[in-house]
Amino acid sequence: MTAEQDAAQVEAKQAQFEEAAQEAVAGGPEIGLDPLLDVMVTVTAELGRRRMTLAELSHLQPGSIVELYRSVADPVDLVAQGIPIARGEVVVVDDRFAIRITEILDPRRKADSDA
């Protein structure tokens, strides 16, 4: 039997959804963000990016310098779970790098960090 013959024997029906399910959700208890406030997310400071070929990567060694597509004057991006949430400047606090936030981004809009 061919795939065309198999497809001809399949009967498809449009899905029917009950409106009562929507009413049940709307009438349920309101849940705020409180249960989510203790969820841990990974936050990364992105200094810059660089596209490289595999050949270029294979030639990297201790002492190699990789130039990034970002000016020294540009702010760094603060990224949570892959979503840019803020921009800021690199500072040092007690011998550790830190970010001083200068701008909060709207996480629903894609940042211009790839430019």
Q: What residues have CB less than 8 Å from 85, skipping those under 6 apart?
A: 43, 78, 79, 104, 105, 107
E strand intervals along the chain: 43-46, 76-80, 83-93, 96-104
- The band of 43, judged by pLDDT with boundaries at 50, 70 and 90, is very high
In angstroms, rounded to a whole number, what is the distance separating the alpha carbons of residues 46 and 32?
31
pLDDT score, position 111: 43
The answer as to whether 110 is a domain residue is yes
Q: How many residues does the chain have?
A: 115
The answer as to whether 4 is a domain residue is no
The answer as to whether 79 is a domain residue is yes
CA distances (Å), origin 37, targets 30, 34, 40, 64, 85: 16, 5, 8, 42, 16
- The band of 12, judged by pLDDT with boundaries at 50, 70 and 90, is confident
The answer as to whether 53 is a domain residue is yes
The answer as to whether 38 is a domain residue is yes
Percentage of residues of the chain with pLDDT beyond 90: 53
Residue 108 sits in a domain whose CATH number is 2.30.330.10
Entry pTM: 0.58
Better-scored residue on pLDDT, 113 or 39:
39
- Can you give the residue range of the structural domain that contains 76? 33-114
The answer as to whether 62 is a domain residue is yes
User: How many domains does the chain fold into?
Assistant: 1
Mean pLDDT confidence for 69-81: 92
The answer as to whether 5 is a domain residue is no
The answer as to whether 56 is a domain residue is yes
Cα–Cα–Cα angle for 88, 77, 102, nearest 5°?
Answer: 20
pLDDT score, position 110: 58
